[in-house]
Structure 1
Amino acid sequence: MSVLRKLWPALKFGTVAGTLGGTVTYLHSVEWDVGSIGLVRFGRAAFVIGKVAVDYKLTLGKLDSNSDEYMNAKSQVHLRSAVKLHDLCCKNGGCFIKVGQHIAALEYLLPSEYVTTLKVLHDDAPQSSLEDLSKVIREDLGHDISEIFTSFDTTPIGAASLAQVHRATLKDGTEVAVKIQHPNLKRHASVDMATMEVLVKGVAWLFPEFQFLWISEETKKNLPLEMDFLHEGANCERVAKIYKDFSFLKVPKIYWDLSTDRVLTMEYCEGGKVTDKQYMEQHKIPVDQVTRCLGKLYSEMIFVEGYVHCDPHPGNVLVNKTSSGDTEIVLLDHGLYQSLSDKFRLDYCELWMSLIKADTEAIKLNAERMGCGEMYPLFACIITARSWDSVTKGIDKAPATASEDQEIQENAGNYLSEITGILNNVPRQLLLILKTNDLLRGIEYALESRADASSFIGMSRCCVRALTQHKLENADNFTSRFGIRVKGQWSLFSLTLYEVAMRVKSSYIWLLLAGLLRRQPSITAS
């Protein structure tokens, strides 16, 4: 017994050392990166958020919030914080990049320093090595890359937060795009989501005016679906079926025998990014036609079908000219869809109808249904990305201007606490719709083709159709249904008359201007 007591410290040390040594050997054998361990990732995120919080407190704490010095200092601390968050997203990868992309999409809700800095994550996400991706293909498909494909481009045609896409050729000569999930994504996801939840709660405790719980809630709900590529493939086929009558829409075909929950093999589709004006000019693709088609598609998704593709950033929307000369829009990445309840969809229809009509009482009533209370003017500005002055005058009456855009972005910083309060109170379904709207506006802004009266008329048509269909489904007799149909058709006919009148008016003004220009006396050198 005394011998055992003497040997116990050495045995204990040997056991601990052996366990640690065995653990290190195992981690090395599976090529585990210490930076990928949950505790390290959590510590890194907590450290960065802590630095950001301290920076805000020290920089702005003693300044007069109405002074120019405060405004300049706030802009600088926004920029420093955005850079720190960008670096954190790139180091932790996966879920963090997804959240960074979500923040970057909220162009009219957050300070421009955050949006501009984090926007690069859409196109510049960290890449996995070909060796790592080959392991995923071997594990999931049971064969090496060379056994499945005759060619496989080593450089990805797209790298995103969850996966990257490579162009390849099947044995029969068919060109495909192969989407492969980053190897460690699923292993890190649960830890990363828990980390984000803890951090946003910590921020809410330190800064009660900044409530970002909706970010972690949406990430926790949507990320598992986005990581399942079989779910994405099913979405792809569903949307192709629903919108088969939209001749301009192209959705890639899925090769199910070469797809798993981590590998998605699909038809390779040609095209340029939807924001590439030079590509459109070279291929004679009308920019206004592209934005009108996108507006038509998304109005149908949101107001009529209630099934919405929620990630239309430029890398996921391509434009092309078909062999018959028609404009084609290719919709990629179908991992994130929002299914809207009938109640929310119809309430949202009513809200937009009141916004288009500039009916302030109806705007207030519909905003209250969405949980905004007395904050309805700010809520209307968030929904439309227009100033309250423009909303009350009619958003279809005058296009948005650069000065109005600048005013809205500046006010986003001033009303950040009120905005986050609204986002925490609105129905969860609205959050992805807001993100989608901002991504679509970003495309319009890049193409210099902002929504006009014609766009709002298209939205109104979809709202009228949706509300009419709902009333028909709840009508209990022939007379009621007949009256509803007549009223619905009259509303649609009135919108058509209004659209024709707008076109005639714009054509008349153009002809008048052209006539005046022709009447100008020529100036010759004396």
Structure 2
Amino acid sequence: MAVRLLKVSSVATAVFASSGFYLYSKNVDFNDLSIIRFGRAAATTAVISYDYLTTLRDVQYGTEEYWAVKSKLHRRSAERLRDLCCANRGTFIKVGQHLGALDYLLPEEYTSTLKVLHSRAPQSSMEEIRQVIREDLGQEVCFSPQGAASLAQVHKAVLPDGRTVAVKVQHPKVQRQSSKDIVVMEFLLQVVHWLFPDFAFMWLVEEAKKNMPLELDFLNEGRNAEKIADMLKQFTFLKIPKIHWDLSTKRILTMDFAEGGQVNDREYMRKHGINVNEISRNLGKIYSEMIFVNGFVHCDPHPGNVLVRKCPESNKTEIVLLDHGLYQVLNQDFRLDYCRLWQSLIKGDLKGIERYSRRLGAGDLYPLFACVLTARSWTSVNAGISQTPVTQSEDVEIRTNAALYLPQISELLNRVPRQMLLLLETNDLLRGIETILQTRASSSSFINMSRCCTRAIAR
């Protein structure tokens, strides 16, 4: 099988090389061409697959050498995947970011390597950005770059009336490329699943198919921002930038500009007198309300999308929530079962854990599901996760088990309702923030979760 894969890869490389020479002579931007993007993705998939097929073949399973070799294999494969995402940009970076957020679901070598994609998003040229603005708004806007993301980049601008706004402009080629890129990913994941039957990550493409069109519609993002601002208006510490609809289109979103430091920047918080525990507690309140009570969940809380600051007017601490393109709507039955499951996890009610895990699709994998959901060991789950603090050794154990139980985790992710997938990613992103802030598994967070669950069930 490995020899066959190598032959196919060699032929494909020759074809793409000869095609590339012709296109170079025509002065074509190679990265715009589907055949180049597909060829790059196919070549990377072939190299990674060949590496997995051959590297461990002569190493005895379970030995120290085996785990050391496998760790290096995971690392270099993750680096190849990262480089592919950076080269193909757009949808590839977005999917890579999602994978990098799955801290307790994928091997650590993958998540730590792919996390850099949040800070290595490509930038479009200033002329490309101006062209999008001219096409959509019919006017020029004076702006300065603030940051780039997988699908867009943000600029600070001053309007003629003196208001300072943030202008989010979609990368000009991403709309055209995204649907083709998803087809490429689907085909290559099917090939990988054929080579490695335990690798069943088709849910990743299914989610991309569903969510990418929504994320590329900035008018939808603006509506989400207004909807969540209204739902959570009781939280005076939460700031959702106001949308300027007269300067917004499907490719451009204009909103109030909000200063602040990233939620994982402890030094910024120290300098500005912001209490770390208060931030962690309030972030937990926001997400408990979204998940358990409203069933409308912002699913991309990586640190670049969660800012903290002292309010310029009141000097009170605020959390600024950005990037409202990716939301998960939870239906009522799912939401209430999820509430009851978390109540059982907090109390250590094993019968409740099994019952509601099965209702949520985990089946006989319910112990693994409980561990994945909480990022705690079964011993801690058994005792009630509110009763036992998280230790460094337990955290290392859970991350190690993500590599050991990858086939079972893969099966679990294919079993559970699609609503669960983005929740798992959101949980991991929030846990990552708590870990950096050193506030993970505080008693106040469990008390607030429990109250939200009780209130949601009683409604």
Matched position secondary structure for 1:166: strand
Equivalent position to 2:432, from 442, 445, 453: 442
The alignment covers a number of residue pairs equal to 438
Structure 1 counterpart of 2:131, one-letter code: K
* Pair 1:317-2:326 in alignment: no
Asked if 1:36 is matched to 2:32, the reply is: yes
Aligned counterparts, 1:173-322, within 5 A: 173-322=162-311
Deviation track 1:235-274 (CA, whole Å, cap 9, x = no partner) reads: 1111111111111000001111111100111100011100
Shift of 1:403: 1.1
Query: Which residue of structure 1 aligns with residue 8 of structure 2?
Result: none
Relative to the length of structure 2, the TM-score reads 0.93
Cα pair 2:182 2:209 within 8 Å, conserved? yes
Is 2:417 the counterpart of 1:427? Answer: yes
1:46 counterpart (38, 42, 51):
42
Q: Which residue among 72, 75, 79 is the counterpart of 2:71?
A: 75
Equivalent position of 1:484 in the other structure: none
Once the two structures are overlaid, the 10-residue window that deviates more, 225-234 or 321-330, is: 321-330
Counterpart AA for 1:414: L
Residue 448 of structure 2: aligned partner = 458
Give CA deviations for 1:155-188 in whole Å, capped at 9, x if unaligned.
Answer: x322110000011111111111110000100110
1:124-135 → structure 2 map (5 Å cutoff): 124-135=120-131
Task: State the AA in 2 paired with 1:428.
Answer: R
Shift of 1:25: 11
Higher relative contact order (CA 8 A, sep 6+): 2
2:381 to 365, 370, 391: 391
1:453 and 1:431 map into 2 onto residues whose CA distance is 26
Q: Which residue of 2 aligns with 1:84?
A: 80
Aligned counterparts of 1:120 and 1:27: Cα–Cα separation in 2: 34
Deviations 1:481-524 (A, max 9, x none): xxxxxxxxxxxxxxxxxxxxxxxxxxxxxxxxxxxxxxxxxxxx
Q: CA deviation at 1:468?
A: 0.8
Which among 355, 369, 372 is matched to residue 362 of structure 2? 372
Letter in 2 for 1:315: G
Structure 1 counterpart of 2:156: 167
- Unaligned stretches of 5+ in structure 1? 1-19, 470-526
The residue aligned with 1:334 is: 324
CA contact (8 A) 1:346 1:466 kept: yes
Q: Is the 8 A contact 1:36 1:92 kept in 2?
A: no
Shift in Å at residue 39 of structure 1?
Answer: 1.6
State the shift of 1:325 in Å.
2.8
Task: Tell me the residue number matched to 1:414.
Answer: 404
Aligned to 1:356: 346
Instruction: Return the offset for 1:373.
Output: 1.5
**Per the alignment, in what secondary structure is the counterpart of residue 432 of structure 1?**
helix
Mapped contact 1:86–1:117 kept (Cα < 8 A): yes
Q: 1:405 to 1:25 in 2, by over 3 A?
A: closer
Deviation at 1:439, TM superposition (A): 0.6
SS in structure 2 at match of 1:168: strand
1:24 Cα deviation from its structure 2 partner: 6.9
Q: Distance in 1 between matches of 2:254 and 2:328?
A: 23
Counterpart of 2:328 in 1: which secondary structure?
A: strand
Gaps of 5+ in 2: 1-18
Distance in 2 (CA, whole Å) between partners of 1:25 and 1:87 is: 22
Letter in 2 for 1:327: T
Superposed CA deviations along residues 397-441 of structure 1, whole A, max 9, x for unmatched, are: 122111111111111100001001000110000000011111101
Q: Counterpart in 2 of 1:490?
A: none
Cα distance change on mapping 1:458 and 1:411 into 2, 3 Å: same
Q: Deviations over 1:261-291 (max 9, x none)?
A: 0011110001110001011111111000000
Deviations 1:443-468, CA, capped at 9 Å, x for gaps = 11111111222111111111111111
Distance 2:342 2:24 in 1: 61
Aligned equivalents of 1:453, 1:194: Cα separation in 2: 45
Note the alpha carbon deviations across 1:65-94, whole angstroms, 9 max, x for none. 211111000000000000000000000000
Q: What is the Cα deviation at residue 27 of structure 1?
A: 7.5
Looking at structure 1, the residues matched to 228 and 36 of structure 2 have their Cα atoms a distance apart, in angstroms, of 40
User: d(CA) in 1 for partners of 2:387 and 2:351?
Assistant: 19
Shift in Å, 1:326: 1.4
Q: Structure 1: how far apart are the matches of 2:137 and 2:330? A: 35
Counterpart CA distance in 2 for 1:89 and 1:189 is 13
CA distance in 1, matches of 2:327, 2:450: 23
**How far off is 1:35 after superposition?**
2.3
**SS in structure 2 at match of 1:157:** strand
- CA distance in 2 between counterparts of 1:357 and 1:252 reads 38
Q: Distance in 1 between matches of 2:432 and 2:24?
A: 49
CA distance in structure 2 between the partners assigned to 1:212 and 1:24 by the alignment:
34
Q: Give, in whole Å, the separation in 1 of the partners of 2:285 and 2:302.
A: 17
Q: Deviations 1:325-354 (Å, cap 9, x if unpaired)?
A: 311000000000111000110111111111
Amino acid at match of 1:105: A
User: Is residue 353–residue 463 contact of structure 1 (8 Å, CA) maintained in 2?
Assistant: yes
Cα–Cα, structure 1 residues 178 and 26, in superposed 2: closer, same or farther, change >3 Å?
A: farther
Of 400, 403, 421, 2:390 maps to: 400
Give per-residue Cα distances to partners, 1:123-154, cap 9 Å, x unaligned.
12111111111111111111233xxx4xx11x
- The runs of at least 4 aligned residues of structure 1 exceeding 6 Å deviation read 23-27
Q: Which protein has the larger Cα radius of gyration, Structure 1 or Structure 2? A: 1
Q: Distance in 1 between matches of 2:40 and 2:120?
A: 21
Which residue does 1:483 correspond to in 2?
none
8 A contact 2:86–2:120 mirrored in 1: no
Q: Where in structure 2 are the equivalents of 1:502-513 lying within 5 Å? A: none
Q: Residue 74 of structure 2 contacts residue 109 of structure 2 at CA under 8 Å; is this kept in 1?
A: yes
Deviations 1:181-240 (A, max 9, x none): 001001101110101111111111110011001100000000000000011011111111
